[in-house]
Amino acid sequence: MRILAIETSCDETAASIITATDDRIIVQSNVISSQVKLHAQWGGVVPNLAAREHTKNIIPVLTEALTTADTTRDTIDLIAVTQCPGLIPALLSGVSAAKTLAYAWHKPLIGIHHIEGHIYANWLSADRMIIFPALALVVSGGHTQLILMSHHCHYVIIGETQDDAVGEAFDKVARILGLGYPGGPIISARAQKYADTCKENPLTLPQPMRSSGDFNFSFSGLKTAVLYLVKEYRKKNHLQEKDALPEDFIDQVAHAFQSATVDILTFKTLRAAKKYAPRSILLAGGVSANTQLRLSLGDMIATDLSDKELFVPALPYCLDNAAMIATAAYYRHQHMSKEVRESLTLQWKTLQAYAHHPLENVK
């Protein structure tokens, strides 16, 4: 079946066309127009600016998706769109475009949960079968969750952040260190620079909730620890707020922050895997692009959980994209009742965007 998907939940306007069968997903186009440069001036995503850009970009992005896939609307069997969670003005741009296309082209329409899309990015890249039950570690700009999947499109959240999401913490720490936005890739590069030149990092940062006994996380305290460390450093070295921090100090703090973050994520994933005995472990969300996290989970599985398989999305599918939304739509469509499937033809009338919606409740 051929699916056209749209994703506009945050600051990427994305459209993709996939052809899916149970054996194989072929990505025919995966177009992403990023607004990162625009939002970087403000140090984070401005919802109304994002919506304005989505509205401007959505038609060119859709046109390019169809052209690259070398196809027309006639071959599309299903339209999918990110419906939740996200910034409402941004989500509405994609949802309105998808509803208009579904109405005008007489196509069924399906709303997809953004996090479900990130999880299904693993099915896009997997070179072997993903066997259930699976445990997903979701790490994005808005979410940090451990999720159990007993079968397709069924989710039980067993732990989540009590405050900041891990991607948000990367972004905030980058801001404290005077680095740009988004923070994840820059912190990761700075941490690597430190690791390449220094063997041991004498600086260690706290890992909140490490001994909490549950599968929840907290990253706000870690971010505050970096803030106080930097304040202290400025005071000791007579540096004003406007003065740039020395490069080697930035590298060292970036390394300590990334190490603490990766360590706590790996530690809680290992504990959850020991308790729930999944066959597969999936990494999902924008922070899944982090090399250290990918390596650390790989090492943990090789050492402690060699009977389990780790899946990580291919790099082009880690950050927000519409191919992952199309893939989630395929599996959802395959696993829905005939009645619900038939109702998709009238979704152009009723589909709504939601800022928040629990993944466990998606239908």
Residue 309 binds which entry of Zn ion, ligand KG4, none, with Cβ cut-offs from 5 to 8 Å by kind? Answer: none
**Whether the Cβ atoms of residue 98 and residue 326 lie closer than 8 Å to each other:** no
Question: Among residue numbers 139 through 158, which ones bind ligand KG4 (CB under 6 A)?
Answer: 140-142
By CB under 5 A, name the one of 96, 140, 258, 288 that touches Zn ion. 140
By CB under 6 A, name the one of 188, 218, 269, 280 that touches ligand KG4. 188
Rounded least distance, CB 205 to ligand KG4, Å: 16
With CB under 6 A as the rule, give the number of residues binding ligand KG4. 20
Question: Among residue numbers 6 through 45, which ones bind ligand KG4 (CB under 6 A)?
Answer: 10
Contact between 313 and ligand KG4 by CB under 6 A: the answer reads: no
Nearer to Zn ion, 2 or 332 (CB): 332
**Whether the Cβ atoms of residue 258 and residue 288 lie closer than 8 Å to each other:** no
Contact between 286 and ligand KG4 by CB under 6 A: the answer reads: yes
Residue 142 binds which entry of Zn ion, ligand KG4, none, with Cβ cut-offs from 5 to 8 Å by kind? Answer: ligand KG4
Rounded least distance, CB 234 to ligand KG4, Å: 24
By CB under 6 A, name the one of 89, 117, 159, 183 that touches ligand KG4. 183
Rounded least distance, CB 11 to Zn ion, Å: 10
By CB under 5 A, name the one of 116, 251, 309, 320 that touches Zn ion. 320
What backbone torsions phi and psi does residue 182 show, to the nearest 5 degrees?
A: -75, 150
Pairing of strands 109-113, 134-139: unpaired
Contact between 94 and ligand KG4 by CB under 6 A: the answer reads: no
Binding segment (CB under 6 A) for ligand KG4, from list 155-163, 178-186, 225-233, 266-274: 178-186
Contact between 161 and Zn ion by CB under 5 A: the answer reads: no
Nearer to Zn ion, 164 or 320 (CB): 320
Nearer to ligand KG4, 183 or 278 (CB): 183
Nearer to ligand KG4, 193 or 234 (CB): 193
Contact between 292 and Zn ion by CB under 5 A: the answer reads: no
Contact between 7 and Zn ion by CB under 5 A: the answer reads: no
Residues at the site binding ligand KG4, with contacts judged by CB under 6 A: 10, 140-142, 167-168, 170-171, 182-185, 188, 285-287, 289-290, 319-320
Binding footprint of Zn ion on the chain (CB under 5 A): 140, 320
